Amino acid sequence: MAPLVEFTDVKTYDTFPKLLAHNAANWPDQIALREKEFGIWNSFTWAEYNRSVKLFALGMHGLGIGYEDSVGIIGDNRPEWVYGEVASHALRAMIFGIYQDSLNEEVAYLI
C-alpha cells in the first residue's frame, strides 16, 4: 500500500488530476482502486488508474468536451465512474452524477 503523505503545498496538488499524476509517478505499481465483480476482487494500480483517466479524457476531448461544459455520469459505482469524473476535472468540465435508478423526471431536472 502507498504510504500516507502530508501535502504542505496545497497549490501544487490543487486538483484530483494533479494528485493522481503525482501518485502514479511515485507509486505506479501500488494498488489505487479495488472492485468486486462476480465475487472476485480486481485491483488497479496508480499507473493503470492514471492511464485510464488519460484515455477517458482524450475520448471526451475528441467529442468536443472541454472548459465549463457540463458532463453527467449515470451508472453503477465503478472505477469507470471515477475515471470519467477525474477526466472531466482534467478537461475543466463541470461534472454531476446521476443515480442509475433515478426517475426520468429527476434525470431531466438534473440535465
Task: Return averaged pLDDT per consecutive 10 residues of the chain, 111 residues in all.
Answer: 59 85 95 95 97 97 95 90 96 92 89 82
Alpha helices in the chain (DSSP H): 16-26, 46-62, 79-90, 104-110
Asked if residue 45 lies in contact with residue 60, where contact means CB atoms within 8 angstroms, the answer is: no
How far, in whole angstroms, is CA 60 from its chain's centroid? Answer: 13
C-beta separation of 97 from 81 below 8 A: yes
Enter the pTM of the model.
Answer: 0.84
Q: Is 77 helix (H, G, I), strand (E, B) or coil?
A: coil
Residue that has been written with the C-alpha cell 501500488 in this structure: 30
* Res 50: pLDDT: 97
- As assigned by CATH, the class of the 16-110 domain is alpha beta
